[in-house]
């Protein structure tokens, strides 16, 4: 029966080409705008580490002074070096890692290549297994390298291709900031989106090119970057605000806990730790600890740009306007066929059959609108990729969004067709036949 109704729909399209074209265009414009913005939102708000996002947690505590304190304030955004290193030593999680962003100067050993600067990540050994970092060659360093302040490094695929033409460079050496490091691992393709493990940097940038043990970076005083929050004058030796005892927070800290009860225990541990530090005189504010999993942390920090959210609402508002226009056009089209519908009813067609026929016709219009809307969405995403924003290159239509395009188009057209189809099936056969 569906094939018969589909054939009738195609015949109707040929009889009313202009009206059909207007309906298809209305659906296509709405779908194109909606899918362009929805795809961008989908890319920016997706789970950056599926399968583990509910076992990775970002702990917070508040070591600041009472100056400027207001009850109910959120805890400090990042951790001090003292606290991060203390938690790392005590190792109460399944895995844990402290980290910060930085930059280093790469000194190529190949002739004809000048030194250049790359982004770096100073972290600890558990970083790589915690975040399921894929390797093309080798692997991460061991915890013993953290303790020994080893001159070891993991490099990204892009840097490996630039320096070693993509060959297995594990065991080779690389000069960074006038120091020789031994390469222990080369990353495979890896770009978590958003850049969840450190949101003080650009949220949608690619990963760093160089990974160095945090202890080594402090031993060599490598350049760091990112937000720093200090609440007291500090002069902690040559390291200044980066020193162990500096009253400054600048480190990110993550812990892996593979069971809900472990997360509850760890939160209690953070509370006890904060109480101990306040008793020792380091913390002044009342105990204020929190802990977010990956998606909770991204939501708490509102990582998706507000303009992207606004664009989604505006695009779906435009789709609604397009649907209202389509309702009017379908209503006009179906009511113009009242005589035809009356004859069908007189010959025995039920109201349900007429209703189904009209919905199939509306759905077919939606399918055609979806195809054209897909083309418009691809053009829209191409325009987004030309914008000077950090997430522009991520605006790609994946299989899930491709399927959503057609589902949304057909669902929207069926919704638009409900009222016209209902009005059409209410046609009284006797009145229509009598008027002929």
* pLDDT confidence of residue 204: 81
Residue 116 and residue 103: Cα distance in Å, rounded? 10
Question: Residue 432: pLDDT above 50?
Answer: no
Question: Residue 436: pLDDT above 60?
Answer: no
Q: What is the mean pLDDT of the chain?
A: 87
Q: Dihedral, CA atoms, 126, 132, 137, 140, nearest 10 degrees? A: 0
50 contacts: CB under 8 Å, gap ≥ 6 = none
Query: With bands split at pLDDT 50, 70 and 90, how would you rate the model's confidence at 236?
Result: low
- For the chain, how long is the longest CA-to-CA vector? 101
* pLDDT confidence of residue 304: 78
Tokens of 341: 């519908």
Query: With bands split at pLDDT 50, 70 and 90, how would you rate the model's confidence at 311?
Result: confident
Question: Residue 51: pLDDT above 80?
Answer: yes
* pLDDT confidence of residue 434: 47
Residue 80 and residue 62: Cα distance in Å, rounded? 10
Choice among 230-234, 372-376, 388-392, 394-398 with the minimum mean pLDDT: 388-392
CB 142 within 8 A of CB 122: no
What tens digit of pLDDT does each residue of 314-359 get? 898 998 898 888 888 888 777 666 666 666 656 666 777 777 777 8
Closest of 243, 199, 248 to residue 101, by C-alpha: 199
* pLDDT confidence of residue 348: 61
Question: Residue 387: pLDDT above 70?
Answer: yes
Pairing of the two strands 210-213 and 116-123: parallel
* pLDDT confidence of residue 88: 97
Question: Residue 63: pLDDT above 70?
Answer: yes
Percent of the chain with pLDDT over 90: 47
Question: Residue 107: pLDDT above 60?
Answer: yes
Closest of 175, 185, 169, 99 to residue 135, by C-alpha: 185
Residue 84 and residue 126: Cα distance in Å, rounded? 14
Closest of 266, 234, 269 to residue 249, by C-alpha: 234
Range among 269-283, 331-345, 355-369 with highest mean pLDDT value: 269-283
Strands (E), 210-360: 210-213, 223-225, 229-230, 248-256, 290-293
Segment 36-57 mean pLDDT = 89
CA neighbours within 13 Å on the CB side: how many for 91?
A: 7
Residue 38 and residue 42: Cα distance in Å, rounded? 6
* pLDDT confidence of residue 338: 64
What tens digit of pLDDT does each residue of 91-105 get? 999 999 999 999 999
Question: Residue 420: pLDDT above 60?
Answer: yes
Question: Residue 295: pLDDT above 90?
Answer: yes
């Amino acid at each position: 029966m569906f094939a018969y109704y589909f054939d009738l729909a195609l015949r109707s399209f040929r009889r009313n080409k202009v009206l059909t074209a207007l309906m298809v265009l209305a659906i296509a414009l709405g779908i194109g705008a909606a899918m362009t913005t929805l795809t961008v939102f989908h890319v920016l708000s997706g789970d950056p580490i599926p399968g583990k996002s509910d076992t990775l947690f970002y702990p917070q505590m508040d070591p600041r002074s009472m100056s400027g304190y207001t009850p109910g304030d959120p805890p400090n955004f990042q951790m001090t070096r003292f606290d991060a290193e203390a938690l790392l030593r005590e190792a109460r999680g399944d895995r844990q890692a402290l980290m910060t962003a930085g930059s280093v100067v790469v000194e190529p050993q190949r002739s004809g290549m000048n030194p250049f600067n790359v982004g770096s990540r100073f972290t600890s050994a558990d970083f790589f297994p915690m975040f399921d970092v894929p390797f093309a060659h080798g692997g991460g360093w061991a915890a013993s390298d953290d303790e020994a302040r080893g001159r070891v490094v993991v490099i990204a695929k892009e840097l490996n291709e630039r320096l070693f033409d993509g060959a297995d460079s594990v065991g080779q050496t690389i000069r960074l900031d006038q120091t020789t490091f031994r390469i222990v691992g080369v990353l495979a393709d890896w770009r978590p989106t958003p850049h969840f493990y450190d949101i003080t940097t650009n949220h949608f940038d690619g990963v760093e090119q160089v990974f160095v043990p945090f202890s080594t970076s402090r031993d060599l005083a490598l350049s760091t970057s990112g937000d720093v929050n200090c609440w007291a004058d500090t002069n902690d030796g040559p390291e200044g605000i980066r020193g162990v005892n500096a009253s400054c927070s600048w480190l990110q800290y993550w812990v892996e806990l593979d069971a809900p009860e472990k997360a509850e225990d760890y939160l209690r541990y953070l509370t006890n730790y904060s109480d101990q530090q306040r008793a020792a005189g380091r913390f002044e504010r009342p105990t204020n600890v929190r802990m977010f999993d990956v998606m909770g942390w991204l939501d708490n920090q509102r990582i998706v740009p507000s303009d992207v959210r606004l664009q989604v609402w505006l695009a779906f508002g435009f789709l609604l306007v397009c649907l209202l226009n389509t309702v009017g056009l379908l209503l006009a089209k179906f009511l113009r066929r009242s005589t035809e519908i009356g004859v069908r009813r007189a010959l025995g067609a039920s109201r349900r059959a007429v209703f189904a026929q009209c919905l199939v016709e509306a759905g077919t219009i939606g399918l055609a609108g979806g195809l054209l809307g897909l083309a418009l969405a691809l053009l829209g995403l191409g325009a987004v990729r030309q914008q000077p924003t950090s997430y522009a290159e991520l605006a790609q239509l994946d299989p899930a969004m491709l399927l959503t395009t057609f589902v949304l188009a057909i669902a929207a057209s069926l919704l638009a067709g409900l009222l016209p189809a209902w009005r059409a099936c209410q046609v009284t056969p006797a009145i229509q036949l009598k008027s002929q």
